[in-house]
Amino acid sequence: MKDILHQNKTFEGIDYTNQTISGREFDGCTFKNCDFSNTDLSNNSFLECRFEHCNLSNIKLNGAKLQDVTFTHCKIMGVDFSGCHDFLLSVEFTNCTLDYAFFGRKNFKKTRFTGCSIKEANFTDTDLTEAKFADCDLLRTVFQRTNLEKADFYTAYNYTLDPEVNRIKKAKFSAQGALGLLAKYDISIKQ
């Protein structure tokens, strides 16, 4: 099937629940108040697209290209980003719910997470060099063999990560947040 190109279009209030959408290229498109829950978006290309107030929970992204894609006020629970196409992968999340998402084995260098709930997510074997977690809740999120060099956790909270199995050179932590680096030792620190 020939790819279908959508350029500079706005899709608003559309229910795509449980559908399969493939072979499409979206360039400069905006999606507002759309429901993509449980939708298969594999093998689509999203270039410079915006998702605003959308439900993207449990979507499938195998082979999907996400280049300069922003998500604002979106529910993106349980999404596995590991199947996304690697070439020029670039996303940004603002005020999103990313609980139970899997970001493993991907390059998310310089990715910005702002005001997000990222509870029980997984960043195993992920490159988060210079990523920023501003005002993000990282409760029970897994960081294993993760490159966190120069990552910014100044205003992030509820995170625990093991400095012995993650690269944290020049990463930024608040004094309070740095306690999450000691969690594995099960020690008590008086403040």
pLDDT tens digits, one per residue of 103-117:
999 999 999 999 999
Q: By C-alpha distance, which of 115, 71, 70, 121 is closest to 95?
A: 115
pTM score, two decimals?
0.93
- 151 contacts: CB under 8 Å, gap ≥ 6: 128, 129, 130, 131, 132, 133, 168, 171, 172
Q: Is the pLDDT of residue 162 over 50?
A: yes
Q: What pLDDT score does 140 carry?
A: 97
Q: What pLDDT score does 146 carry?
A: 98
% of the chain surpassing 70 pLDDT: 93
Residue 51, both tokens: 């998702």
Q: What pLDDT score does 1 carry?
A: 37
Q: Are 17 and 37 in contact (CB under 8 A)?
A: yes
- Across the chain, mean pLDDT equals 94
Tally of CB atoms within 10 A around 20: 11
% of the chain surpassing 90 pLDDT: 89
